[in-house]
Amino acid sequence: MRSDPNAIDVPRFIQAHGLHVPIILRPLTTDDCDEWNEVRWRNDDWLKPWESGDPVHGASMSFNEWVRAMRCNERNGTGVVGYWVDERCAGRGYAPMAVTLLADWAMFDPSGPQLHRVEIDLLPENERSRKVALKVGASYEGMRKAYMFVNGQWRDHESYALLPEYAPNGFTARLMGE
């Protein structure tokens, strides 16, 4: 039962229907702690330039506390999505596929939140994220001044958006060329 009318009921899996897409999305669970920590900390140098931080320097959260906070945000309809890719898997198209799968669920799937837009915000020097935004067909909307706290300072971010009318048959189908 939803605790809030804006709650986001994230399914156990998000996958492409009728398309051969080699990935399936699912929410993190507390069972992912060891594997997530291994991959995240092995990629620390790779991710550090892009990682948002806490401008008020609050208490750090354990992985399990972070997962519980995400579930709470979903119940309250305030969930925010971020993504990163293990450096060993970069450049294989996983990020664009994940973004399109999520956008299709969030905009078109009857079980999704029926969003009218999905936004991708990125640091201007993050060429890889810009390529993801462009590859999935997001349109550039402008610069957001002092948008996110990254590496100890408020940083400007380029803003891109996906709207349902950009891909009436779905973003994943468009990405896969079908």
Task: Give the model confidence (pLDDT) of 140-149 as tens digits.
Answer: 999 999 999 9
pTM over cut 0.75:
yes
In one letter, which amino acid is 150?
V
Residue the block writes with tokens 């156990």: 12
DSSP letters of 102-159? Answer: HHHHHHT-TTS---S-EEEEE-TT-HHHHHHHHHTTPEEEEEEEEEEEETTEEEEEEE
In the structure encoding, which two tokens stand for residue 109, read together? Answer: 């799937």
Mean pLDDT along residues 130-156: 96
Residue 108 has pLDDT above 50, yes or no: yes
Q: Can you tell me the distance from the alpha carbon of 155 to that of 162, in angstroms, rounded to the nearest whole number?
A: 22
pLDDT, tens digit (0-9, with 9 covering 90-100), for 57-74: 878 889 999 899 999 988
Can you name the residues that pair with 118 across neighbouring β-strands?
A: 162
CA-closest candidate to residue 146, choices 161, 133, 156? 156
